[in-house]
Structure 1
Amino acid sequence: MLKIREAKKADVPMIVAMIANDKLGQLRENYLNPLPNTYYEAFENIAADPNQELMVMETKNGLVIGTLQLSFIQYLTYQGGIRAQIEAVRVHKEYRGQGIGQHLFEWAIHRAKEKKAHVVQLTTDKKRPEALKFYEKLGFTASHEGMKLHLKT
């Protein structure tokens, strides 16, 4: 039996390991043992923000096998509507292809409805065509063109 729950500080290393476990993640993340403190600082900020939900999926034995972050963004558009933004969805490499990602998305969509969001949105890197196909199967449409400006820190 699988369970989705709020992430705890002790889950951070496994979450970062999953985020770092692909071609793009390997370029962006700094997965070391011990983890750099920046990850724990980010976790504390996320946990303190009522509009952020960092979730994990675990097996009945407590093994974390999936994660996602759900952000609720209040807007003035859509008559003061709320958007739910899904980010950093990852499934442990040994559990891919078993419906875990779909289950995580179904949970996130249900949660967005509970919070009265009028839309669920996500971005995906163009270098991940398989992810785009997966999102389309779930009913997402490429309705907008997204852009980013990376800032040097």
Structure 2
Amino acid sequence: MDFRKAEESDVKEIVRMLADDDLGASREKYEHPLSAEYYDAFSAIQAQKGNEILLAVEGGNVLGCIQLTIIPGLARLGMKRAQIEGVRVDKKYRGRKIGEALFLEAIRIAKDEGCGLVQLTTDKQRPDAYRFYEKLGFTASHEGMKLILKS
């Protein structure tokens, strides 16, 4: 298994994985042709320094993805933090520790970028994800809140 940054040609596969569970299916629109909004969002990700989608690949197949954003800040003496979002492993490849490997690679990149912490949110409807993140050493140190501006 190798890791690489996503390219525009990967967007359809990434959206397929994002939509491939009950919660994702209610949020995403995996259809042909894929909505231009996804390509616009991918272009914005590429244009923003410190923002990338990392892929786990093997033999030309995308096994999983994770979005990693490096966020500079003033708090904690100007500490940078890394935000992880959009974590998915293709159903065909689960159980092979691909998610763990993606996280370890994202954490390595965050360290290399000088981040002092890695943060994420997880939907309360995903108890398995919560347990997975705890096994990786994440702690529920804060209560997260969101204000939905667009559905």
TM-score computed with the length of structure 1 as normaliser: 0.96
**Residues 11-36 of structure 1, C-alpha deviations (whole Å, 9 max, x = no match):** 00000000000111000001101100
Deviation, structure 1 residue 152: 3.5
What amino acid is aligned across from residue 147 of structure 1 in structure 2? M
Q: List structure 1 segments (4+ residues) > 2 angstroms apart after TM superposition.
A: none
What amino acid is aligned across from residue 124 of structure 2 in structure 1? K
Change (3 A) 1:16 1:136: same
1:129 is aligned to 127
1:144 is aligned to 142
What amino acid is aligned across from residue 48 of structure 2 in structure 1? D
1:15 is aligned to 14
Deviation, structure 1 residue 40: 0.4
CA distance in 1 between counterparts of 2:115 and 2:52 reads 14
- List gaps (5 residues or longer) in structure 2: none
- What value does the CA root-mean-square deviation take over the aligned residues? 0.9
CA distance in 1 between counterparts of 2:128 and 2:89 reads 14
Matches within 5 A, 1:3-152: 3-59=2-58, 61-152=59-150
What amino acid is aligned across from residue 42 of structure 2 in structure 1? F
CA distance in 1 between counterparts of 2:50 and 2:107 reads 15
Deviation, structure 1 residue 129: 0.4
